[in-house]
Amino acid sequence: MGLYFIFMQEKKAVQILLILFPVVLFSLLSFNGPSIDKEVIRVEYVKSLKKYDGTRYLWGGETSLGIDCSGLVRRGMIDTYIRLGIVNFSPQYIRKALYLWYNDMSAEALGKEYKNHTLLIMSNQTLNELDYGNLREGDIMVTADGVHTMVYIGNREWIQADPAEHRVLILRAPAENNLWYKTPSNILRWRDLE
């Protein structure tokens, strides 16, 4: 009888934990926590993007196993929100990461300010002729036809998941041998970085 009593007590403890865990998790994710400075988000975003440098290109991919151009742009921000949300104990950023992950968007959607996530800064520019004085790290380039996107990481450098090169790469403008640097494009900014 003693062993049965101990087993039932342990089972009860597991049941209580199974009930309490979702309640505690929901409670923690329900409040906002502190806001994070936009410059901190911007620096973390660029750092998150750079960790994908060299990753193979995979259409529709969003992981370090394979990633496409819009996947890279979004995944960098998702990684940023999660990391900063945890480090700063600010669940609002974890919720933003989940929302961005759930609401998948193509390069074309990013270029059209999909669900008010991005803001158009300049239109009909080529990266080789762009006035870089108006850019901030983390700004997004989307080709005018919505086919390709990449992110400015500073010092006239752009990171992209390039389908022609079959990998994520960083190139400095001007890049005469890269089609995307000569293509008319729009420059956008994440609203959280505005």
Domain 31-193 has CATH 3.90.1720.10: yes
Q: Which residue has the tokens 């994710």?
A: 29
- Quick one: pLDDT at residue 19? 72
Number of neighbours of residue 97 by Cβ within 10 angstroms? 21
Q: Rounded distance, CA 24 to CA 22, Å?
A: 5
Question: What is the per-residue pLDDT across 80-126, written as a single tens digit (0 to 9) for each?
Answer: 999 999 999 899 999 999 999 998 888 999 899 888 889 999 998 89
Q: Rounded distance, CA 146 to CA 69, Å?
A: 11
Structure tokens at 33: 């926590």
- Quick one: pLDDT at residue 36? 87
Number of neighbours of residue 174 by Cβ within 10 angstroms? 15
Per-residue pLDDT band for 154 (boundaries 50, 70, 90) equals: very high
| Residues ≥6 apart with Cβ < 8 Å to 77 | 45, 48, 97, 100, 190, 192
The mean-pLDDT minimum among 40-49, 102-111, 166-175 falls in 102-111
User: Is the overall model pTM greater than 0.75, yes or no?
Assistant: yes
Give the helix ranges, DSSP H, for 31-144: 38-50, 69-87, 91-102, 107-111
Q: Answer yes or no: is pLDDT of 28 > 60.
A: no
* Single-letter residue type at 100: L
Q: Rounded distance, CA 91 to CA 98, Å?
A: 11
Q: Rounded distance, CA 97 to CA 81, Å?
A: 5
- Quick one: pLDDT at residue 35? 84
Burial of 22 (0-12, 13-18, 19+ CB in 10 A): exposed
Position with higher pLDDT, 55 vs 33: 55
Q: Answer yes or no: is pLDDT of 9 > 90.
A: no
Q: Rounded distance, CA 76 to CA 150, Å?
A: 11
